[in-house]
Amino acid sequence: MAIPLSNDELWRAVLGQVELSISKANFITWFKGTSILSIDNGIVTIAVPNGFAKEWLENKYNLYILKALKSLSSNIEEIRCSIVQNNEIKKNNSVFVNGIDAVKPFFSSENNPKSFTRKKIDFSVNTVPSTSPSLFKSNLNPRYTFDKFIVAENNELARAACFAVSQNLGHLYNPLFIYGGVGLGKTHLLQSLGNEIVKNYPEKRVKYITSERFTGELVDSIKNQSIDQFKAAYEQIDLLIIDDVQFLSGREKTQNEFFHIFNALYQINKQIVISSDRPPKAIPTLEERLRSRFEGGMIADISRPSLETRLAILEAKALEKGVALDPASLHFISEHITNNVRELEGALSRIAAYSELQHIPISLTLVQKVLGDTLQHKKKLSPDEVLSVITDFYHVTREDLVKKGRKKEIAHPRQIAMYLMRTELETPLSSIGSLFGGRDHTTVLHAVEKITKEKETRQRMKEELTSLLDQLNTLCG
């Protein structure tokens, strides 16, 4: 007779199965810190750390969980979720998800860099150095709010995470890392989170800043010898939002200072929210310790919108702007403007402006006329542009790619470049071979097949390709 599994063993086995069926970001977000609380009369009660996880597990993942449970233990009929606070879960010995222990303090002493011996800063209110008033500008644009953000399958995880954080600052997901291609709503979500806090907790200090501005301010403070004030001011922020963090990549000094500010804020449960055009793993030359801090929190992605989503967004935007769009125009725009929401908005504004100036109501004919130029001029990408995107993304040179050599750091970008030229540009295999220093067409074919396969089986590869495609699409614009 088989030995029955303990609750922990059973839950680990369930997680093992669920992990295969859903994306990694979703898996970590919703299953981190969960465990089986009890099994009673065929009803399994799952301990979850918060109401958001409860909602998602009960409504979206119910069937996955039940299926996995039933396959392991036939007399299970139903699941329920019960919110158990972190410290109680700890007692309950929660399961590690992907090696990440949800309840282990992010900065336990063994994680703490030895060099981190900052003097204690007084965090009471009103100690803002008077020399740096601009540091307390929130930089929030009230236009970006959650209620203006249209939720669809491509962004629901990121939206849920931002909203959850706005309801539980500093304690739920910290840091929160949102990534996705340009124009997909990252800034909108980050700013909505900031605005929500300002609205509900006016005493909280919120700062939104792009990583480029952050770098600029830091450099200025070094020049003005006011770096201590700079850091001290940052360390009094309750919610620090850093947008487009990929631009920190490669700037050692900035990363170092950011890391210290990050640690100081994190240790006193201040919230950090970060966005990037790609996952932390795919940001080249991001310092390892920063990368692992980012990965230790919660990561959610926004992908490109499907046709249904584009239709929904366009309809909502038209309504918001008071633009009357007939169904045929709505469909035409959504079918032709496919890259991102920013372009959809741009198209709508151009059409509305044209119709107003010419005093002609919007119709399919007018839409085709206004968009005609843009659509016809939609550039076809060249292999050269693929190479630029690849060399930027992986920090390699063109010579590296063409040279003979099988080092993985070079071979991988080379294979991806071949794959993109073949699948996106439909360049003949033999031409691709010539572009890469006269390689044989079978070498190219091998690369294309390898990447195609990995795309299906490895989440990391899928994410990498999504980031690259986003960048190529921007060039097509």
First-residue to last-residue Cα distance in the chain: 64
Taking the complex as a whole, the smallest distance from the CB of residue 85 to ligand ADP amounts, in Å, to 32
Tokens read off for 404: 């003979």
**Residue 155 interacting with ligand ADP (CB under 6 A):** yes
Residue 470's CB is within 10 A of a number of other CB atoms, namely: 21
Q: How far is the CB of 195 from Mg ion (least distance, A)?
A: 15
- Cα separation, 317 vs 314, in Å, equals 5
Shortest distance, position 186 Cβ to Mg ion, whole Å: 5
Q: Choose which of 187, 246, 254, 471 interacts with ligand ADP (CB under 6 A).
A: 187
Q: Which of 33, 49, 185, 280 binds ligand ADP (CB under 6 A)?
A: 185
Told to check if 187 binds Mg ion by CB under 5 A, we report yes
| Interface positions, 190-219, toward Mg ion (CB under 5 A) | none
Q: Tell me the torsion sign for CA atoms 104, 108, 113, 119.
A: positive
Cβ density class 137-176: b for 16+ within 10 Å, e for less = ebbbeeebebeebbebebbebbbbbbbbbbeebbebbbbb
Q: In Å, what is the CA distance from 31 to each residue of 20, 165, 253, 356?
A: 13, 17, 36, 51
Q: Site for ligand ADP (CB under 6 A): which residue of 331, 342, 350, 398? A: 342
Closest distance to ligand ADP from the beta carbon of 244 (Å): 8
Instruction: Return the SS3 of 76.
Output: coil
Beta carbon nearer to Mg ion, 106 or 146: 146
Q: Output the six-digit token pair for 78.
A: 């139903």
Kindly identify the residues of this chain, within the stretch 165-184, that bind ligand ADP according to CB under 6 A: 180, 182-184
Could you tell me which residues are beta bridge partners of residue 301? Answer: 179
Q: Which one of 13-21, 86-94, 146-154, 247-255 is the stretch in contact with ligand ADP (CB under 6 A)?
A: 146-154
By CB under 5 A, the count of residues binding Mg ion is 2
Interface with Mg ion, residue 94, by CB under 5 A: no
Q: Does 345 bind ligand ADP (CB under 6 A)?
A: yes
Instruction: Find the binding residues for ligand ADP in span 25-84 (CB under 6 A).
Output: none
- What angle do the packed helices 364-376 and 327-336 form, to 10 degrees? 10
The answer to whether 473 contacts Mg ion (rule: CB under 5 A) is no
Alpha carbons 477 and 472: distance in angstroms, whole number: 9
β strands within 297-422, DSSP E: 298-302
Listed ranges 10-18, 86-94, 143-151, 430-438: which one lies at the site for ligand ADP (CB under 6 A):
143-151
Contact 168, 290 (CB under 8 A): no
Hey, which residues does 239 pair with through a beta bridge? 206, 271
Given Mg ion, ligand ADP, none, residue 313, with its beta carbon under 5 to 8 Å by kind, binds ligand ADP
453 binds, among ligand ADP, Mg ion, none (CB under 5 to 8 A by kind): none
- Residue 213 as a binder of ligand ADP (CB under 6 A): the answer is no
Contact call for residue 279 and ligand ADP (CB under 6 A) = no
281: nearest Cα among 463, 25, 157, 456: 463
Choose the contact partner of 184 out of Mg ion, ligand ADP, none; CB within 5 to 8 A by kind: ligand ADP
Look up tokens 């995107």; give the residue.
Answer: 389
Contact present, 391 and 420 (Cβ < 8 Å):
no
Cβ-proximal residue to ligand ADP, closest one: 185
- The tokens describing 320, both together, are 């918001």
64-72, 181-189, 191-199, 304-312 -> range binding Mg ion (CB under 5 A): 181-189
In the shown chain, the binding pattern of residues 309 to 338 toward ligand ADP, with x for contact by CB under 6 A and - for none, equals: ----x-------------------------
Q: List, as own/partner pairs, every contact residues 12-17 make where C-beta atoms lie below 8 angstroms and the sequence separation is at least 24, other chains included.
A: 12/95, 13/68, 13/72, 14/65, 14/68, 14/69, 14/72, 15/95, 15/97, 17/64, 17/67, 17/68, 17/71
Within 8 A by CB and 6+ apart from 299, the residues are 25, 28, 29, 177, 178, 179, 279, 280
Q: Using CB under 6 A, which of the segments 21-29, 149-157, 252-260, 380-388 binds ligand ADP? A: 149-157
Residue number with CB closer to ligand ADP (54 or 278)? 278
Comparing CB distances to ligand ADP, the nearer of 150 and 162 is 150
Residues binding ligand ADP: number (CB under 6 A): 16
> What is the nearest approach in angstroms of ligand ADP to the Cβ of residue 340?
7
Q: Which is nearer to Mg ion, 188 or 422 (CB)?
A: 188
As measured in angstroms, the least distance from the Cβ of 464 to ligand ADP is 18
Q: Is the dihedral of CA 456, 457, 463, 468 positive or negative?
A: negative
- Which residues contact ligand ADP by CB under 6 A? 148-150, 155, 180, 182-188, 313, 341-342, 345
- Which residues contact Mg ion by CB under 5 A? 186-187
